[in-house]
Chains A and B, each alone.
Chain A
Amino acid sequence: MDKMVNIALPKGRLGEKVYRLFKEAGYECPSIEENNRKLIFENPEKGVRYFWVKPSDVAIYVERGAADIGVAGKDILLEYRPDVYELLDLKMGVCRMAVAAKKGFRDPKGETLRVATKFPNIAAAYYNEKCRDIDIIKLNGSIEIAPILGLSDVIVDIVETGTTLKENDLEPVETIVPISARLIANKAAYKFKNQQITAIRKGMEEQVQ
């Protein structure tokens, strides 16, 4: 059985930052830093194999065991609820899931609230807890435009600095949950590669604190 730990990294700027954290924790892989088009990188000496995948797919790779561990945003974990362990908050990619609306918005409490979002499960759970009747409009991008064009009353989306909202005359109304990158692990891999995964987790925890 393969004793290397397979690690799924999210492609992009966050992924590069996350790799640096793995490196600082003692799990470097020099080939990943070379400028090439490879997708899989190994350092047998350290027992790690990295690969880049689309950020929203990391949880799937980990849940299905193609990767033993990986780094995924809390937004993805809340939306898709993969059956994985969430071992550590890496305190990177920090932002929040928020409700935003046009400036001066007044909640039409007597009516069904129209909510445009890329995260229908998070939005549904949030309003369900408040017993608020909503109509979810699932969009795949440019969410900010929905309230401007009257497609929705509010949006539920990730807010980092709030600049995009501001530029579109919107403002955050409520925070649903803080978001950041999390270290996740496949449940079976956690049993059979426990020592390695625990050591990686510990190394990263020391870097994060």
Chain B
Amino acid sequence: MLIQYLVRLRIPIVFFIGFLSLSIQAAEVTKEQIKGLDEQVQDIKKDVLALTSELTRLEEKLLFPSNTQVSLFVSLSGDDDFVLDSMQIKLDNKVIAQHLYTFKEIEALRSGGVQRIYTGNIKTGDHALVASFIGRAKSGDAYQRSENFTVSKVVGPKFVEIQITGSSASDQKVTFKDW
């Protein structure tokens, strides 16, 4: 029926069949298509990474000028039996950061990664820092510790590492390292 109609319209049947097969081809996914798109995705990743790098620096310059900047980092070392649940940081008697840890984050800390828990601005001089954590041993026993430290802010940016260390889960303590 369709063929008769095409003949009546004088459309070459060969051309029509060719068109049909083309449209079927278009629906197929080829390796070249996948590869081509992958390359385009990689280009976009490159562009976004470059932009993110520049914007992060702009953000830091705008929000945390070096003369007032203070950054606090958390690291974890010692007994693998200890599971860190949460951290709370107080600066000048104000809670400035709280964090609940996921399994992946704890593993990253255990592997040697360092978490930047807070970046902010403070004026030059001495500031009271209190770092507290809640954690537990794999047996289920919960532990809580808190330590004080004086952050002496001078003109340049200030970095303080809050280290959670201990030879056993019950022995975990907070120490500070002034960078």
Tell me if chain B binds chain A.
no
